[in-house]
Amino acid sequence: MCDQSLEAEAIRSVLWAQREAWNRGDLNGYMAGCWNDERFISVSDDGITRGWLALRNRFEDAFPDPAAMGHIELEILKLEFLGDDAALVMGSVAMALPAAQGIGSFTLIMRFIDHQWRVAHDHSSLTTE
């Protein structure tokens, strides 16, 4: 890894692109920021989902159309490199869905895979009102 500040900006760019894709109802665009591999792991209040395709299918069932996806805002609170090809990202999330509002937090393991930063592990918790 050459310059950690440049790599940190690349990681932020992936997360901002995911946020923007989600907010325009583009599930494929959102999923592009995740490691497309069966070893991808997502942990949420609903349990553990293993594999990129499994998460894609779960989201497609939960959010059948762009309007159902609502709107999210992210804040990165910590970004720490764990080596040349891995980083820990912690942050907060606010989500507005058609039927509920939610706030929560997330911890991501980002990996540098095939010359791109991707979310390899996502642990998110959301409390809805």
Confidence of residue 128 (pLDDT cuts 50, 70, 90): confident
Over residues 21-59, the pLDDT tens digits come to 999 999 999 999 999 999 999 999 889 999 999 999 999
How many structural domains are present in the chain? 1
Helix intervals (H) in 24-128: 27-31, 52-62, 66-69
Q: What is the CATH number of the domain that holds 70?
A: 3.10.450.50
Range of the domain at 14: 4-128
d(CA 61, CA 44): 16
Quote the pLDDT of residue 99: 84
- What is the pTM for the complete model shown? 0.92
CB 15 within 8 A of CB 76: yes
Identity of the residue numbered 121: H
